[in-house]
Amino acid sequence: MLTLIPLLAVALPAYASDEPLDEITVLATRRPATVEEVSAAVTTIDGKEVMAQKLTTDALASQVGVSLQQTTPGQGAVIIRGLKGSAVLHLVDGMRLSNAIFRTAPTPWFALVPASSVKRLEVVRGTPASLYGSEAVGGVVQSVSRLPEFDSDEIGYAGDVVVGFDTAELQKSLRATLDVGTRSLAASFSAEYLETGDRRIGGGERIAPSGYEAKALRAVVRGIPSDERSWLLDLHFLEQPETPRIDELVPGFGQTEPSSSEFVFAPNQRTFVHFQHDHITASGIDWKIDAAWQRIVDDRSTRDFGATDRRLEDNSSDLYGVTVSASGEAGAVWWIAGVDVYHDEVRSSRFNQDISDDSITEIAPRFPDGSTVGQAGLFGNVQWSVADRHAINAGVRYTDVRIDLPDGTTITPGRLSGDLGWVYDLSDTWQLTANAGAGFRAPNIADLGTLGNRPGNRFNIPNTSLESEQVTHGDLGLRRGSDRWQFEFLVFSLRYTDRIVSVSTGNVTPDGRDIVQSVNSATSTIRGIETGFNANLTDVVSVSAVLNYTYGEQRIGDETEPADRVPPLNGRIVLDYAPGEQWHFETWLVAAAGQDRLSARDIRDPRIDPLGTPGWGVLGASANWANADWQVTLGVDNLFDRQYRVHGSGIDAPGRNVFATLRRTW
């Protein structure tokens, strides 16, 4: 707790963006809007911050209302209001990244969004159920892609090259982007390469094997034939060819031996193609059509510790989506209505390879091969300025879900959901906000049909009788926005019923793993506080801070215990000094209290100390020099080489890390 005393002295955390509150647009609400227009709690992260990270997900750490868990250095899973995995909907430009094999546990695939593609990350904290339906339970995370823009009819060019290095993970990275075009037709091409070595944790030890590499390509073409019409075609590709799952390869808490002799994702891969057409009619109605295809590959090569056979897995999801929406204004009412349709196909196979003679035998796959999930939603949402100082946001949605398994089982967990929000302008700069929502999460293929090893010496068997989870949610907030400082304070509460959790069947496998199965048996109550603060103290000095606190309990049968994987009290302070146009200095403290409120599942998880995760605090500093064309950053994080672990992560955080980036733009 001592490491948090400086943080508590400031007491309130910061917006991730340096923009004044009334200049931020929010597309996670399915339309451009300023934050002051919407009641929802929103966190935004500028693309420049994303480009300074190894992975897109790294930029989500220590933000207002957001925590980040890492099972391996090449992955990252966001936790919003104590919820994670498939309880948080992930989007890219309004289209689903979350798919049929998205796990309820921490999931890695948002890390497969190329950092150079990101204009802005947005997090809607809460339950925007009317807009997105199933899985928008804890919140929505969205990557808004950067698009090429020119303001002349003459062909123009723009470029960006970023080179990065660090000492903790021996990072070597290169990102390059080239834009070319005119105001009516433009294209952008980018490529990325990242390679790391084994992570050096506090105290000097390097944890092996934890290095990985990533390769990405992106191409986008955008047309604006008139002020009323625009279109784009966007292609993303990112691959991590071989990423080791380090928590399976080294002994965890309570273990004398690792769970696996081999465990690599080989590869993790995401391909995304998105077409969008936007048309504003003469009557002022804005029609938008989006169509997208995404393939996620989650192949693995694993071998239990000391085993003589290797498991080779091929797992993939092909997700097809189409959305059509219309929006407009009628007096004091702004409205949006639309439909979205998604179809997801799962392919899965698994083979046993005898390491003595390389003979291969086909065995039951991780997921039911040929499973499909279809979703169709009809939604409507309005914003009504009912008086000079009052505005209401309200929406309703019906989502029809159909799940077909290859054994003939069909599940149709459709459901009505909705939300209501209120904004009250106390003054020109102060606002009071309130939100309430009722949403659900339909079970997916990962819930219904997973067969195989799980962390914590478990073996999962399928359950095709699962039903939807439900959540009711509310928050109350106070916020202020001006050119000099921004402030946000929210309290929230949610009740999560029929929650799908993994429970023991009482049996064990021949090799000693506990056999578990997913069931609708938990009820969780989660409450918390989220605060943000950003102030320009003088013309050259500014300070920002973040503080998050979440408290959760869950009941399984007659037993009540702390909720699973809930982050402890955590936050950060950043002090910024900019003495001139070219120089910029920062110093920061990032800290978390200890977390000893553990569920039974947490205690069994070898990633988590059964006595609780100790508190920690780390200091860092950087210097930045920039002119119109060049930018150079030198810095050090975890200055005192503290050894610590973010609660729930599968590896200790980096130790003292000296880093450097060089950026050239034109």
pLDDT above 50: residue 580? yes
> What is the distance between the alpha carbons of residues 266 and 283, in angstroms, rounded to a whole number?
52
**Contact predicate 494/476, CB 8 Å:** no
Max intra-chain CA distance, the chain: 78
Q: What are phi and psi of 655, to 5 degrees?
A: -80, -155
Is CATH 1.20.1440.230 the classification given to domain 2-665?
no
Q: Is the peptide bond before 114 cis (omega within 30 degrees of 0)?
A: no
pLDDT score recorded for residue 25: 60
Which residue in 431, 408, 413, 409 sits closest to 421, CA to CA? Answer: 431
pLDDT above 80: residue 418? yes
CB atoms within 10 A of CB 560: 11
Which residue in 129, 28, 89 sits closest to 439, CA to CA? Answer: 129
Amino acid at 501: V
**Average pLDDT in the 137-142 region?**
91
**Contact predicate 171/58, CB 8 Å:** no
CB atoms within 10 A of CB 290: 20
Q: Which positions ≥6 away from 362 have C-beta within 8 Å? A: 349, 350, 351, 352
Neighbour order of strands in the sheet with 41-46:
41-46, 118-125, 139-145, 88-92, 95-96
Which residue in 103, 106, 105, 112 sits closest to 55, CA to CA? Answer: 112
Amino acid at 480: R
Q: Is 331 exposed, middle or buried (0-12, 13-18, 19+ CB in 10 A)?
A: exposed
The per-residue DSSP string of 613-633 comes to: BPPEEEEEEEEEEE-SSEEEE
pLDDT score recorded for residue 12: 35
| pLDDT single digits (tens) 592-621 | 999 999 999 899 899 999 999 999 999 999
**Contact predicate 323/338, CB 8 Å:** yes
pLDDT score recorded for residue 620: 98
> What is the distance between the alpha carbons of residues 590 and 203, in angstroms, rounded to a whole number?
18
In the beta sheet, which residues pair with residue 507?
Answer: none
Domain range summary for the chain, segments of one domain joined by +: 2-665
pLDDT above 80: residue 82? yes
For the record, the structure tokens of 73 come out as 């250095």
Helix (H, G, I), strand (E, B) or coil at 307: coil
The model's confidence at residue 498, banded by pLDDT at 50, 70 and 90, is very high
Identify the residue whose tokens are 């009052």.
390
**Contact predicate 32/88, CB 8 Å:** no
The model's confidence at residue 662, banded by pLDDT at 50, 70 and 90, is very high
CA 388 to chain centre: 36
pLDDT above 80: residue 348? yes
Amino acid at 76: G
pLDDT score recorded for residue 217: 98
CB atoms within 10 A of CB 47: 20
Q: What are phi and psi of 9, to 5 degrees?
A: -65, -35
**Contact predicate 114/216, CB 8 Å:** yes
pLDDT score recorded for residue 29: 65
pLDDT above 60: residue 3? no
> What is the distance between the alpha carbons of residues 566 and 43, in angstroms, rounded to a whole number?
19
In whole numbers, what is the pLDDT of the chain averaged over residues?
Answer: 91
**Contact predicate 262/232, CB 8 Å:** no
Amino acid at 309: D
**Average pLDDT in the 507-525 region?**
88
Helix (H, G, I), strand (E, B) or coil at 193: strand
Which residue in 629, 661, 655, 631 sits closest to 642, CA to CA? Answer: 655
**Average pLDDT in the 135-151 region?**
93
For the chain, the residue count is 666
Amino acid at 337: A
**Contact predicate 199/654, CB 8 Å:** yes
Amino acid at 588: W
> What is the distance between the alpha carbons of residues 424 and 431, in angstroms, rounded to a whole number?
6
| pLDDT single digits (tens) 21-56 | 444 566 656 777 777 888 889 888 999 999 989 999
Per-position b or e across 632-661, b if 16+ CB within 10 A of its CB: ebebbbbeebbebbbbbbbbbbbbbbebeb
Q: Is 542 exposed, middle or buried (0-12, 13-18, 19+ CB in 10 A)?
A: buried
In the beta sheet, which residues pair with residue 570?
Answer: 548, 592
User: What pTM was estimated for this model as a whole?
Assistant: 0.93
What beta strand segments (E) does 355-414 contain?
A: 360-363, 372-384, 390-404, 410-411
CB atoms within 10 A of CB 109: 25
pLDDT above 60: residue 10? no
| pLDDT single digits (tens) 287-326 | 999 999 999 999 999 999 999 999 999 999 999 999 999 9
Which residue in 66, 32, 64, 65 sits closest to 534, CA to CA? Answer: 64
Which residue in 466, 464, 411, 418 sits closest to 440, CA to CA? Answer: 418
CA 163 to chain centre: 25
Higher pLDDT, 130 or 367: 367
> What is the distance between the alpha carbons of residues 82 and 61, in angstroms, rounded to a whole number?
14
